[in-house]
Structure 1
């Protein structure tokens, strides 16, 4: 995606065009997005839009690049060790669940699946800057917790993947199929709390057990 930078012009209304395109692409996907609709959403003329982006493909790639950066900026930052693991994991799990059920998260998911053949690099970049980054940061936290004696984990990467999947139990599938009741705070709290309890039952240091 970095190769598109030389072909994209930047100017006073660049961010405005990009935000309009973001709204339309997330709502309608690449194939369904219409340049006229993007211009209307951005509040610019079609001539202005084409001045910045000669074709829809370049615009889509630029939106994808910006969204990858947004994901990276908003990725979960974990506690420095002052809080107990169950509290840290609940906060991290809630962030994961919130993203899964968000309009943005679902829009990204649908675009990556629908456009994986046309733009395979987009799905790869979204994973690296979003789920992949969260996975790495979670693994780093778990590694530190193990070193402190708060958790007992042999396969850190597997444990990080397991926790992330537990936090998406039921809500991912229900959200994809637009079923009701998967976005309430009560539902998300219940699922994440269950994920933390199951994770701690498997990897937590038992009470009375001597820490390494």
Structure 2
């Protein structure tokens, strides 16, 4: 009898290993992925929770365990995308010991990302809900938590402390470089004037120009010029 009891205990998973309602990260990701495909295809206004249910392969009841409504789900997608590109940019800058090298790697990575079809479609979706969800759109660009701008701001501050550059307003400098690095490609892509992703050669040309302007304004011209600085000049 004791042996049988032990067998039953082993075969019954019990509560261990189970997630509380709304706490399973895999299920949450499944819902977000399905919703993302629906929003990209239909737009926010045309998409329904039934569409998302079918695409995600879950019941409507399951969706409402994780998200209050369509707006809440859309907000989760926005936050996820912001975190993804932020972490990517942080990783890029983490291995950069010189200003010009870091700016080049950041600029190329950011420009390629911001002009990609996925991001352009996502941005158009965000713009489409700006009147209905203004706080969400402000959060996308100006989150109080870590974002692309704050990552670059931290990089600039680090090199100011090292004496490699002279910047009084590092937040402004970060904003300026981001705008220069994306050039006008992002706006052209967003509004349909540029149908295809810019070639690597053109992105390279724009980013190198942004670095020259940035260093002309903020470079410590008393510091010795490194080989990598000459490389990106």
Q: Shorter chain as normaliser: what TM range?
A: 0.7 to 0.9
Asked if 1:52 corresponds to 2:67, the answer is: no
- In structure 2, the CA distance between the partners of 1:205 and 1:115, relative to structure 1 (3 Å rule), is same
State the Cα distance separating 1:124 from its structure 2 match.
2.4
- In structure 2, the CA distance between the partners of 1:155 and 1:33, relative to structure 1 (3 Å rule), is same
**Ranges in structure 1 where 5+ consecutive residues have no aligned partner:** 1-7
Of 122, 133, 149 in structure 1, the residue corresponding to residue 147 of structure 2 is 133
- In structure 2, the CA distance between the partners of 1:28 and 1:76, relative to structure 1 (3 Å rule), is farther
| Partner of residue 22, structure 1 | 36
CA distance in 2, matches of 1:121, 1:193: 35
Of 186, 191, 212 in structure 1, the residue corresponding to residue 206 of structure 2 is 191
Residues 54-98 of structure 1, C-alpha deviations (whole Å, 9 max, x = no match): 743343333334334434433434646863211110011112212
Q: How does 1:1-212 map to 2 (within 5 A)?
A: 9=22, 13-42=27-56, 44=57, 48-53=59-64, 55-77=69-91, 79=93, 83-129=97-143, 133-178=147-192, 179-206=194-221, 209=222
TM-score (norm 1): 0.77
**Ranges in structure 2 where 5+ consecutive residues have no aligned partner:** 1-20, 225-233
RMSD: 2.9
Q: Is the 1:86–1:196 Cα contact (8 Å) retained in structure 2?
A: yes
- In structure 2, the CA distance between the partners of 1:183 and 1:110, relative to structure 1 (3 Å rule), is same
Q: Is the 2:114–2:120 Cα contact (8 Å) retained in structure 1?
A: yes
- In structure 2, the CA distance between the partners of 1:173 and 1:63, relative to structure 1 (3 Å rule), is closer
Q: Is the 1:21–1:41 Cα contact (8 Å) retained in structure 2?
A: yes
Residues 176-196 of structure 1, C-alpha deviations (whole Å, 9 max, x = no match): 123135432222111111111
Give the greater-gyration-radius structure (CA): 2
Residues 121-179 of structure 1, C-alpha deviations (whole Å, 9 max, x = no match): 21122224599722122122212212222112232222111111101112012111231
CA distance in 1, matches of 2:83, 2:96: 29
Length, aligned pairs only: 199
- In structure 2, the CA distance between the partners of 1:172 and 1:64, relative to structure 1 (3 Å rule), is closer
State the Cα distance separating 1:108 from its structure 2 match.
3.1
Q: What SS class does the counterpart of residue 32 from structure 1 fall into?
A: coil
